Amino acid sequence: MHRVSLLLRAAASSSSLPSLASSLTASVSAWQIRRPSTRYVSVTVKRYSTAETREQSTTALILSAETVANLSAFEVRSGILFSSHEKLLAAVTHKSYKPLKPASSFSSTSNNVIDDTTETVQKHVSLGQRLLAFHVTQFLLLSYPRLPAHALDSLLLAYTGDRALAHLGRNIGVELIMRWKQSSHGETASLTDPKLPGQAVVIARVIQSLVGALYLEKGASAVAFFIKTHILSRSVDVAAHLQLSKNPKATLRAVLKEFNRELPVSRLLNETGRLSTNPVFIVGVYSGIDQIGQGYGSSMAMAETRACKNALEKHFVQHIKDIDEEKLLVADEEALSFLTSLSTVASANVENTDDRESDTKQQKNA
């Protein structure tokens, strides 16, 4: 810069180069004027690009590479395909999960976003509970039309209870992708199974939420296929839920009377070691000429009781194998629409249920 000034002075003092000196002076002045603005524009661009990069990196942290890999693996194991990973992640979010607020958004709008997320999760849970109950009850009524009411309720709990859903969730890897926060206020207690750990209850709620979100995303056929594949495929001992320990002979008489059949008669079919310390008796129960049950025991009374239980199990657990698959895979649209309309009202019931669970937990701790 100093050399340029000397050259300009020399050119100005010379009589032969006045025009050249004037043009050089004007060029340097213009360059000095434009230089600060150019530097300012450069700094502004750098700041903007840095802020944009930070915003993009913050968005990318929500779905990191590990999260995307876990979600993809879950889709393969479960057979559930949502339109985006964001929707799947929202479906496996528990109501206890509260996303962190950005540092620049401590306003009322952020609270509204969190409230909307909680309300959506509760809607998915309430809808999923009713869809599970609907499909499993439909399957049981079609497969075992003679089941009594108490056995139907017990089997429904065995298929869709918190313990059963938690076991299913661990099998398909829900605990690897679900979002939740452990709480000490009894929010994860279970009324149906108080001894169940809190994390298992959260897994069960996430499965219910997943079913509800799947119905809203893919429709009734996708939900029916998921329930048939992962829930109804389990092996459950139906006879164990009949509760026939109380006076099975009287129950058998009532059942035969209802169907206008002859009352039961017990007959000794075989015996061995009557005078020994380990006798065995085999008794058959007949209705007319038809043998409807058979049992064994160390006494005549024990063998007769087991024979009556055997007859009742054959009657109630009569499995209808030829079921129309369309009744299971494509459910009644009117019934499912009714369930969907109930989900909004049921979300409030879920809140009341969780409050009762919390009160029960606190009373036990006290």
pLDDT score of 52: 42
Low-confidence ranges of the chain (pLDDT < 50): 15-17, 28, 33-61, 103-115, 184-187, 329-331, 342, 344-347, 350
pLDDT score of 199: 74
- Regarding whether 218 and 95 lie in a shared domain, the answer is yes
* Number of structural domains in the chain: 3
pLDDT score of 104: 46
Q: How many DSSP H helices and E strands does the chain contain?
A: 13, 3
- Regarding whether 274 and 139 lie in a shared domain, the answer is no
pLDDT score of 115: 47
pLDDT score of 41: 37
Q: DSSP states of 164-191 as a string?
A: HHHHHHHHHTGGGT-B----SSSTT--S
The domain spanning residue 279 has which CATH number? Answer: 3.30.160.20
Q: How far apart are CA 346 and CA 354, in angstroms?
A: 12
Looking at the domain assignment, is residue 323 inside a domain? no
pLDDT score of 204: 87
pLDDT score of 135: 94
The owner of tokens 């693996």 is: 73
Looking at the domain assignment, is residue 322 inside a domain? no
How would you classify the pairing of strands 265-272 and 280-287? Answer: antiparallel
The domain spanning residue 206 has which CATH number? Answer: 1.10.1520.10
- Regarding whether 265 and 234 lie in a shared domain, the answer is no
- Regarding whether 312 and 191 lie in a shared domain, the answer is no
Looking at the domain assignment, is residue 321 inside a domain? no
Last residue of a domain, one of 33, 62, 91: 62
Structural domain including 260 reads 244-316
pLDDT score of 188: 53
Last residue of a domain, one of 62, 84, 112: 62
